[in-house]
Structure 1
Amino acid sequence: MKQLQYVLSQTLILLLLCCETKPHIQELSVQTTIISRYAFTAVSCSMLNRHSAATQGVFQFHIPTAAYISNFTMIVGGRVFPSQVKAKEKKMKKEGGENNGKKNKNTPEQSEGEMEVFRMEVTIPGRNRAVFLLTYEELLQRRLGRYEHVTSVRPMQLVSRLSVGVTVVEHSRITYLEVLPLRNGKTPSSNGNGKADVGPPVSTVVRQNDTFCKISFTPNIAQQAKIATNGMLGEFVVHYDVERETGTGIGDIQFQFLLNSFPLSFKIFSGTDINGGIQAGSALLGDYLSSKEESHHNSVSLIIFLTDGRPTVGIVQSPAIIGNTKAAVQEKFCLFTIGMGDDVDYRLLERMSLENCGTMRRIPEDADASVIFYDEIGTPLLSDIRVEYSEDAVEYITQNLFTNYFNGSELIVAGKLTNHSSDSLHVQVTASNSERSIVLEKDMSIHEREQETERRLAEAEAGPNVNGYVERLWGYLSVKDGLKGRLRSQTSAERENYTQHTTNLSLTYNFLTPLTQMIVEKPQVLADARAGNRTAASGSGGGSKSDGDPHFVVEVPHSKLTVCFNINGEPGHILRLVTDHKHSGVTVNGALIGAPAPAGSHKEQRTYFNTITIVADKPHRSYIEVTPQKVILDDRDRMILPSSSSISVQTANLGVVIIANTNLTVTILGTIQFVILFHHYKNPAPYQRDHLGFYIANSKGLSKDTHGLLGQFLYEDIGLTQLNGNFSMARENSTQEPLGKNISLPSCPALKVKDRTVTVIKKSRRIYSGKQTVDCWFAKNNAAKLIDGQYSDYVVSHLFDTGDWANGTNTH
């Protein structure tokens, strides 16, 4: 019976996949690294259009409302479409080439506790792939004595390879860690038999020590189908907490930025008369505070206002409600607001709370809002908290004055150190509780803390994508503070000031915020490109001429010869440059773009490499994707590195060294090394394009079975010989009349490649951006007979294709 159930299950999955008309998601990976509460999340989604016709593909992902998107890139049909974050114009006009991906019309600028939807639609050419890369960042808030990280797993279909990973790195000991059952909307999680789940989702693996933990969730298709056949698995939720010291928390210090953490009768008015409810509640609490009964108590006073709708009774204009609320509260107590459901003016609730030292929370409509929120703010421990540092030691600090501190929460302050050589930093926290005023002080060791951070990141193999996390956290908090200040501003000048400052911060850290927009170029259907417009392929293994039209230059180590050739490539084609997939696991592919040829040229157009991918499948899969603007490195963790900055990165499999705007050196397992040159034009001519050059610097780790346009020559024995001129001419003019018997032509050089003879001429080629010149034997006619097989044998379907070489052959 169990075997029959298994067969039926597999049949159901096959039917679901076969009936799918939209592009199939082959792989979805969501990897998060949390370092001292700050979370970096990288999403990678690969779709395949199985059909011959172009099809619309939809990438949709839910992200926390409190998070900011920091990057989005599409790779469609081998072409890379990066995004740009720009300041939002005052009057936006929708155009076909623009897409502000993160949107939810009911979500206010700073609302938290809900998800927003990032959505991108793109046309995928027939039998081709699209890859979507999304990164976002957020600061986890401590509530009810724990941190919560939520990953949405809703790909809307079953996925061949699905993986969710969460790495948590903390300075303090991790005292509590729990992976909850999948959380799916308004219904409780179940295991498919109608019974509620009580443990982590199936396939979840947890590794943990005192200061870091690694959690993975990798359900196969059968396990996904058991949870939800439509691919809407739900939310993968991780709760954790850390050990807390008595007194002030110890700060994180990195890149001259610092972070400090301080682990730190109820009436509900309902209805839609928001103004009337606030006035009644304020009067009631105000009378109590002025009474003799309360005059001797140093307590914290709050109003919690809950609503499930917009103002419809009494005063309904938002400015009037905000003004009346401020006049009623009179800074005597704090106002906290709760919104339930979708028919709520969250912007109004947020501004009401922000202007009266409270916060706004969005609660699911079916939840017990009073219990949830009261548990969070029902135990105020301190009031009037002020965080101060040594005089002139810190600048640009984020919010350091807090009206209340609640049990189970945390206060975060970040700023920039002014004295980079100082060994310590003095921190003082003043506050009041129900009995007295208190002062907490601590001296922090700066350099020791920074070294400890680096050590723990290395232990957790967190990767350099989190380097500079304190500065990015500072930028994140500063943007949040700026948006709150903008919301509270009383004059247009003050509002404009906040707007400009916060916009600049958003652009500096590439954050998609309410003040910025994300511009993504929409790709055209690549399958419609005209055939026949071919030109010399851009360079690989050799270098580029100074005019930016590179050619292939290959050193043949066994024969101590240098050969060169041109390949008439098609824009949009992806060429296999190196493949040793079965042995070393290495594959290198390059994508071509086109440009018009210079005036007077015999060519119709030029082609260049604008994207190169290096895939290393051993000991585990990792890859590097390179464009003239950026380098994407994925080895367990994903990093996006600009080509304009010098940086060195070492991961488990890969070593990467970028020399700003010059070149990239990639080392694989210490024995294989490739060099990729960046070619940029400040004022490009119409026939010039930013492009890449590719070189094999060290092939020691590549096997004798290595192939590809360049790889096939690494272990090839090529001989140089002389051919009789008449024999050579006869071969090249086999369709013409034979030469006269009395004509004798001089001999010409030729290369012996396996059983093939290739006539060549001697040429000079400039390589390494024109810095070196080499003499080489040039093979004409699209490298016919020099390379194995034909040009079409080297064209692959996508940039991450690692399929085997087709073993094409030539006759002599």
Structure 2
Amino acid sequence: MQRTLLWVLLGIGCISLSSARLIGSLVVTTETPQEDTKNAAPTIATSPQIYQMRVDTNVSNRYAVTLVTSKVRNIGDAAQEATFSVVTPDQAFISGFTMEIDGKKYKAYVQEKEEARETYDRAVESGFAAAHVAASARDSNRFTVSVNIQPASKATFYLTYEELLVRKDEKYEIVLNIHPGEPVKDLLVQVNIDESRPLKFVKTPSLRSGNELLKNNPNLDPEAEITNLNETSAVVRFNPDIAKQRILAESLGGKEKNGLSGQFIVQYDVARDPEGGEEDEVAEWLRRWTANPMGSARVGSNPILVVLFDLNNHLFLAYAFCFLKKCSFCSWKLKGWKTPVLVSGGHFVHFFSPENLTPLKKQVIFVLDTSGSMSGVRITQLKEAMDSILDELKPEDVFSIVEFNSLVKVWDVSTIRVSYMEGEDPYIYSDRDTTTPATQVLPPSFPATESNIINAKEVVKQLDANGGTDIQSALKIGLNIETSNAIKIHQPIIVFLTDGEPTVGESNTERIVSSITALNTLKVPIFSLSFGDGADREFLKKLSLKNQGFSRHIYEAADAYIQLQDFYKQISSPLLSNVTFRYTDQASNVTKSNFPILFGGGELFTTGILRDPSIVPPAVEAWGVNGPIQLQPKVFQVSGNLERLWAYLTVRQLLEQREVAEDKTGPTQEALRWALALKYSFVTDVSSLVVVKPNDTATVDTVDAAESFSPSFKHRTAFAAFSPMRNFRPAIVPTAAVSYSSHFGFPILFSQPARDFLRPAASPIQPSSLHTFIPDQHSVFTTSPPSLSKIPWLGTVRNTNGTITVGSDAYSLDYDPSVTPYSCQNSLNKANGTCLQLMNCEQIYPQLTDFDTFKKYFCKLDTAAGVCCPDSPFP
């Protein structure tokens, strides 16, 4: 098995060791390098004790904000290193971190990157120390802080992260990872749900290990307390005592002394009216008109035909056609189906999850890797999963089975034989002369009849793992099956599974993505599954993002076949295709508004800014089982902070665009740099977390994780971006080592319990490290705030003490993390904005041509000079 290393270099500021500035480093790796073991410090017998841990999650309109609080005390006679480690969901953004040590608080803030390469060139010559950490949950990230605590002293850590809950299998799921590493006397998890719609249900299934999908186990029942406050709100409390924690720890496969190590889950859904909306006045008009189509049906003084034509001429024709045909689709449309739009504070979010719809007929093309690396357990698990998946096909569906290794084979399900084959087998695992069909015919997809399903299972039994991996040819043939298929009424879907990288034919993954995307003129969704650690996940993610699909990782474990089944269930029931949210000109900064498919049990959503909250977005258009439809939204005024939801989704989608962008310094990167992540304090691939000690500020910036270098082993820590562990979020903290790294990729390699973190670095940082610069794989360290040199006239008005005078008062230009931004109305073009310190609004610099112009946009932040920074980061 390929050895995998995860390296993270981190900055350390000084609290009590010295009044001078100290910057050192910590390297996080899955195994200690041989060259560093000679400096390893002895393991300290007594670890600091966690005496209280709380996890508080507040959910409003599907947006979850979680605060993790951990209180630690040093009960030993010597200074000890305590580690605060939190596993966060893969799609969550960390948005706040504070340490409190001996009554003093050190709050983090987010800053963008600058001059990373130059700093790296200085830094790589410096030494570093090593420590070992472990991951304990799939599809997650880990944030870790190590800090020295004096004898009889205490430390408190506060970490906040945010995420938009995604509906799957007809429910929302809040996953809270609990890994204190020891039994905790005071352990409390509380989830507060406050939705705009009535709650359909709230439940807490069995605890999970985080590494395997298991059925509900009565021994892992959290016995959580669920209190329904009203029809839209509920509180869930999980408060196990030490005895219960030990029982749960053992049931999860751990040791009692290590405490609870697993996932606490809260599941819920909101009630939806039949077909997803409410009946309205137009529906009443339609019913009366269809009862007497030759009459002049009216509601009040409104004639039905005028109203319908005013709404949309083709909408009237669709209703008329539906009535004449007397189809079942007509009754659905006559229900006046509406989709809920939530509006608050000038922002809106549009949730779209219709129910009781007849699924689209689908064409599923399975493109399955049967190369040599799939042999053994993998091919067995694939066969088990396919046996179950084939049973999920509906009689009206059609399907094809394409297997590929060095050769690409298309099976004729009706005869249980290969009817089409392409490629050459350089490994000579098979006799091409005897296996090549005498007549090469690319078969169409086969109806999912009972007999064909039985035959398909026989095909799956015959799959044999050998040879290389010709990915490009396999996908091209899969697309050719779709375009040659005689049945055009089915929604095509390609399910592509591989466990490796291309080794036969085209091996350049960028060229494969480009050629397949160009060939996919009909925009067939490609859903990619990476199986095991050998698959190139970044390649598969990009392939799917560019082809209307998404990728998932199948972890190599005993439950791999269950993972495959669960993935297929998510895409097995397409309800609508080409779903488009259309808005008026009053809506701006709208996130993604066109979606290729809506699957049953799922939900689509888009969000944006409304210049006039009274304006109702006009319609949602889609294609259903009986043709085109148009759905009218209904607006609800709600409480809650929709602005943060909008910001989260905007940044998340921009990062996805960045994944597939050829030039990562282009518009997507620029938009992020325009302070979205800075204003909302989201830690992302292009921003960094910084902890400030009074009078001693250190910043960490990030460089592009996609840049390609070939550093030596010692310097490889600076470029972990080449592995799937790329979601690192660096930080500098006083007397602390901080890491935030993705554990999406290697759950099997990181199996140690969280207790293993509570140990000192192998080589403690010494005061001799003063003024040393050490970068991580995307980080640089500086000792000053962003430069104001881009405002040349500033030097002529700056006072000798570094302030500027506006009116009769002097305001500081130095960075002050304690100030609080607020809304202002004197931004560019007299638009609304946010009052930020001058160095945090670089986009306004070109407008500040002189001091008088600056004063037009000036706003005060206590004693700091601020400007009214534009809220809209996009032109």
**Cα distance change of structure 1 residues 517 and 260 upon mapping to structure 2, 3 Å threshold:** same
TM-score, normalization by structure 2? 0.52
Identity %: 28
Give the alignment of 1:613-692 within 5 angstroms.
643=820, 645=822
Match of residue 241, structure 2, among 208, 220, 224: 220
Q: What's the secondary structure of 1:415's corresponding residue?
A: strand
Structure 1 residue 370, shift from structure 2 partner: 2.8
Contact 2:341 2:348 in 1 (8 A): yes
Structure 1 residue 364, shift from structure 2 partner: 3.1
**Cα distance change of structure 1 residues 330 and 375 upon mapping to structure 2, 3 Å threshold:** same
Give the alignment of 1:204-603 within 5 angstroms.
204-207=225-228, 209-228=230-249, 229=256, 230-245=258-273, 246=275, 247-264=337-354, 265-270=364-369, 271=371, 276-291=470-485, 293-295=486-488, 297=489, 299-366=490-557, 367-368=560-561, 369-389=563-583, 391-420=584-613, 422=614, 424-444=615-635, 449-450=636-637, 453-454=638-639, 467-468=640-641, 470-491=642-663, 495-503=665-673, 504-520=675-691, 521-524=732-735
**Cα distance change of structure 1 residues 309 and 78 upon mapping to structure 2, 3 Å threshold:** farther
1:788 maps to what in 2? none
Specify which structure has the bigger relative contact order, considering alpha-carbon pairs within 8 angstroms and separated by 6 or more residues: 2
**Cα distance change of structure 1 residues 118 and 353 upon mapping to structure 2, 3 Å threshold:** same
Q: AA paired with 1:226?
A: I
Match of residue 116, structure 1, among 141, 157, 161: 141
**Cα distance change of structure 1 residues 47 and 430 upon mapping to structure 2, 3 Å threshold:** same
Q: Does 1:44 align with 2:69?
A: yes
Separation in 2, partners of 1:85, 1:399: 26
Q: AA paired with 1:378?
A: S
Q: AA paired with 1:250?
A: P
Structure 1 residue 315, shift from structure 2 partner: 3.4
Separation in 1, partners of 2:492, 2:516: 16
Separation in 2, partners of 1:42, 1:409: 27
Q: What's the secondary structure of 1:397's corresponding residue?
A: coil
Q: Does 1:78 align with 2:100?
A: no
Contact 2:99 2:155 in 1 (8 A): yes
Structure 1 residue 200, shift from structure 2 partner: 3.5
**Cα distance change of structure 1 residues 182 and 66 upon mapping to structure 2, 3 Å threshold:** same
Q: What's the secondary structure of 2:143's corresponding residue?
A: strand
Contact 2:72 2:155 in 1 (8 A): yes
Contact 2:619 2:631 in 1 (8 A): yes
Structure 1 residue 204, shift from structure 2 partner: 4.1
**Cα distance change of structure 1 residues 203 and 491 upon mapping to structure 2, 3 Å threshold:** closer
Structure 1 residue 412, shift from structure 2 partner: 0.6
Structure 1 residue 514, shift from structure 2 partner: 1.0
Separation in 2, partners of 1:250, 1:506: 28
**Cα distance change of structure 1 residues 196 and 409 upon mapping to structure 2, 3 Å threshold:** closer
Q: What's the secondary structure of 1:165's corresponding residue?
A: strand
Contact 2:219 2:248 in 1 (8 A): no
Q: Does 1:129 align with 2:154?
A: yes
Separation in 2, partners of 1:208, 1:365: 42
Separation in 1, partners of 2:212, 2:549: 31
Q: What's the secondary structure of 1:440's corresponding residue?
A: strand
1:606-646 deviation per Cα after TM superposition (whole angstroms, max 9, x unaligned): xxxxxxxxxxxxxxxxxxxxxx965xxxxxxxxxxx65559
Give the alignment of 1:101-180 within 5 angstroms.
114-180=139-205
Separation in 1, partners of 2:591, 2:579: 14
Q: What's the secondary structure of 2:180's corresponding residue?
A: coil
Contact 2:224 2:236 in 1 (8 A): no
Q: What's the secondary structure of 1:250's corresponding residue?
A: strand
**Cα distance change of structure 1 residues 45 and 317 upon mapping to structure 2, 3 Å threshold:** same
Separation in 1, partners of 2:602, 2:211: 26
Separation in 2, partners of 1:478, 1:133: 26
Contact 1:179 1:199 in 2 (8 A): no
Separation in 2, partners of 1:69, 1:80: 18
The Cα RMSD (Å) is 3.6
Separation in 1, partners of 2:113, 2:368: 38
2:221 maps to what in 1? 200
Contact 1:143 1:376 in 2 (8 A): yes
Contact 1:428 1:442 in 2 (8 A): yes
Q: AA paired with 1:522?
A: V
TM-score, normalization by structure 1? 0.55
Unaligned regions of 5+ residues in structure 1, if any? 1-18, 455-466, 526-627, 631-641, 648-659, 662-677, 684-812
1:567-597 deviation per Cα after TM superposition (whole angstroms, max 9, x unaligned): xxxxxxxxxxxxxxxxxxxxxxxxxxxxxxx
Structure 1 residue 121, shift from structure 2 partner: 0.8
Structure 1 residue 409, shift from structure 2 partner: 0.8
1:69-103 deviation per Cα after TM superposition (whole angstroms, max 9, x unaligned): 00011112222221121113443747999x9xxx9
Contact 1:387 1:400 in 2 (8 A): yes
Separation in 1, partners of 2:529, 2:213: 23
Structure 1 residue 491, shift from structure 2 partner: 4.3
Structure 1 residue 239, shift from structure 2 partner: 1.3
Structure 1 residue 319, shift from structure 2 partner: 1.4
**Cα distance change of structure 1 residues 121 and 202 upon mapping to structure 2, 3 Å threshold:** same
**Cα distance change of structure 1 residues 436 and 487 upon mapping to structure 2, 3 Å threshold:** same
**Cα distance change of structure 1 residues 359 and 189 upon mapping to structure 2, 3 Å threshold:** closer
**Cα distance change of structure 1 residues 176 and 113 upon mapping to structure 2, 3 Å threshold:** farther
Structure 1 residue 682, shift from structure 2 partner: 5.2
Contact 2:475 2:516 in 1 (8 A): no
Unaligned regions of 5+ residues in structure 2, if any? 1-43, 250-255, 276-336, 355-363, 374-404, 406-467, 692-731, 737-815, 825-835, 838-859, 866-875
Structure 1 residue 236, shift from structure 2 partner: 0.3
Q: Which deviates further from its counterpart, 314-323 or 175-184?
A: 314-323
Larger Rg belongs to:
1
Q: AA paired with 1:472?
A: R
Q: What's the secondary structure of 2:617's corresponding residue?
A: strand
Separation in 2, partners of 1:365, 1:334: 25
Q: What's the secondary structure of 1:502's corresponding residue?
A: helix
Separation in 2, partners of 1:224, 1:328: 55
**Cα distance change of structure 1 residues 275 and 419 upon mapping to structure 2, 3 Å threshold:** farther
Contact 1:188 1:196 in 2 (8 A): no
1:266-310 deviation per Cα after TM superposition (whole angstroms, max 9, x unaligned): 51412476972353244244234334x314x2x211111122334
Match of residue 62, structure 1, among 74, 87, 90: 87
Separation in 2, partners of 1:203, 1:268: 43
Separation in 2, partners of 1:356, 1:499: 22
Q: Which has the higher strand share?
A: 1
Q: Which has the higher helix share?
A: 2
